[in-house]
């Protein structure tokens, strides 16, 4: 899901045929998300699957946006991302 969102960001900066190519790429990658989530739901409980997919995707998009697109990020926002990542680790270790 994070990869799909990043490709849409690239598409937003393009025009013409390049816009369509990046947009198509984002949709192709995005199509796999519900398929993979369906398989993950077979193995894990929904609250863990959705926490990992949405939480990890959020953190990845923020970090990649900063790294690849030089999106500004404050120290407070970095702290929030770190807390989100720590929460995901706690969910992983705390599952029964």
Find the angle CA(55)-CA(80)-CA(51) to the nearest 5 degrees: 15
Spatial CA neighbour of 4 closest among 24, 15, 16? 24
User: Based on the number of CB atoms within 10 Å of its own CB, is 3 exposed (0-12), middle (13-18) or buried (19 or more)?
Assistant: middle
pLDDT in tens, 43-68: 988 988 988 888 998 999 999 999 99
The residue whose two tokens read 């398989």 is 39
Confidence class of residue 96 from pLDDT cuts 50, 70 and 90?
low
How much is the pTM?
0.75
> What burial letters (b/e) apply to 9-18, b meaning 16+ CB within 10 Å?
bbbeeeeeee
| Cα 5 off chain centre by | 7
Annotated domain spans of the chain: 2-94
How much is the average pLDDT of 1-25? Answer: 93
């Amino acid at each position: 899901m994070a990869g799909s969102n990043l490709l849409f960001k690239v598409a937003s900066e393009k025009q013409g045929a390049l816009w369509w190519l990046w947009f198509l790429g984002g949709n192709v990658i995005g199509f796999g998300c519900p398929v993979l989530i369906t398989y993950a739901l077979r193995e894990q409980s929904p609250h863990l699957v959705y926490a990992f997919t949405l939480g990890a995707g959020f953190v990845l998009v923020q970090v990649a946006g900063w790294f690849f697109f030089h999106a500004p990020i404050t120290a407070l926002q970095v702290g929030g991302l770190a807390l989100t990542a720590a929460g995901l680790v706690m969910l992983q270790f705390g599952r029964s």
